[in-house]
Amino acid sequence: MAFWVQIGSLVVIIMSAAVRGRVEKELSPECREFLYRGTPPTGLEHHYLQFICQRYNKKARYVTLYNTEDHIPIYSAYIFKRSDGEKCVDVPWMYEPQLSTSSDTDEMQPFPRGYMHMNFEDAQAVLDDYTNAILYERGTLNPDEHQDEPDDKASTYTLTNVVPMVPNLNNRVWNKQEHIIRQRLNNYCHGTAYIVTGVTTSGKMIRRENMKRIAVPTYLWSAYCCANYDHNTPYNERYRFPSFAHYGLNEEENNGVMEMSVQKLEEFLKKTTFVNQNFQIFAGDCVPPASEV
């Protein structure tokens, strides 16, 4: 009997390892390619934060740092793809099997019908969490407008890339800024553009059946890094390279986004969220090593 118990325990351990193969404390090389110089933002170390190498249709698409207690992403980091801004259509919302359910896949999957979501809602948001959240909409950190290939666009529709946003910010203010950034990088970034988009929280939660389910962001922020850019860029855009940033208040009444240097954004976030004093979004402040200049 003891022998079979040991074998059963071994199977559970092996299955768990398979399930969590793409959810790691340390990122794999294939997912570091979405980060400037292969380095994630520093100063964000907590036991409930997990990296997700977001995989779709047999390929890594971007990286998310996910909060398994608040059930929202802290940030998503991705490579900007030049595009015409067309939205993806007819893509079902997906979840991340790696986080909390027995599965033989390390790729995001469409939500199953019925109550199967009960098997994995302990560590991530599910569709029911947003059903009655009438004050908020699902806002993506890595937007499909910043991707080009259909599969890259489709991969943005996972709830591990989503935070609750008020309609005014989601549909007007933030969406407009995503459009501005797309045009700016389309026109003046000659090389790879790395973008990190994240949130700050302050304890406000969306509840479902009297349970605290999803943290509501106080601010959304975003920063890009394009070390290889057009040095003949017009002056009114030139100072926004090689890197720039912005943030917006997640309230219906807001004054739009605030644009600033990445360093100014880092200073702001050190005062408003749980990052430590070593917090840095881009390695070396997006200044390429001399050998790459």
Q: What does the domain layout of the chain look like in residue ranges? A: 29-272
Q: Give the contacts of 265 (CB within 8 A, at least 6 positions apart).
A: 221, 223, 245, 246, 247, 281
* Distance separating alpha carbons of residues 20 and 68, to the nearest angstrom: 13
**For the purposes of burial, counting CB atoms within 10 Å of the CB of 75, is it exposed (0-12), middle (13-18) or buried (19 or more)?**
buried
Per-residue pLDDT at 53 = 94
Per-residue pLDDT at 209 = 87
Per-residue pLDDT at 287 = 87
Strand-pairing partners, residue 195, are: 78, 224
Alpha-carbon dihedral angle through residues 219, 217, 94, 109, given to the nearest 10 degrees: 100
| Nearest partner of 170 among 234, 240, 220, judged by Cα | 220
> What tens digit of pLDDT does each residue of 197-206 get?
999 998 899 9
Residue 7 pLDDT exceeds 60: no
- The total of other beta-carbon atoms located within 10 Å of residue 180's CB is 13
Q: How far is CA 243 from CA 67, 78, 171, 193, 272, in A?
A: 26, 15, 25, 9, 21
Q: Which residue has the tokens 């004050």?
A: 135
Mean pLDDT on 268-275: 90
Higher per-residue pLDDT: 111 or 229 = 229
DSSP letter assigned to residue 189: B
Give the H/E segment covering residue 12: helix 2-19
Strand-pairing partners, residue 62, are: 54
Per-residue pLDDT at 68 = 93
- The total of other beta-carbon atoms located within 10 Å of residue 247's CB is 24
Contact, 155 vs 56, CB < 8 A?
Answer: yes
Token pair of 135 as six digits: 């004050």
Q: Which fold has domain 29-272?
A: Extracellular Endonuclease; Chain A (3.40.570)
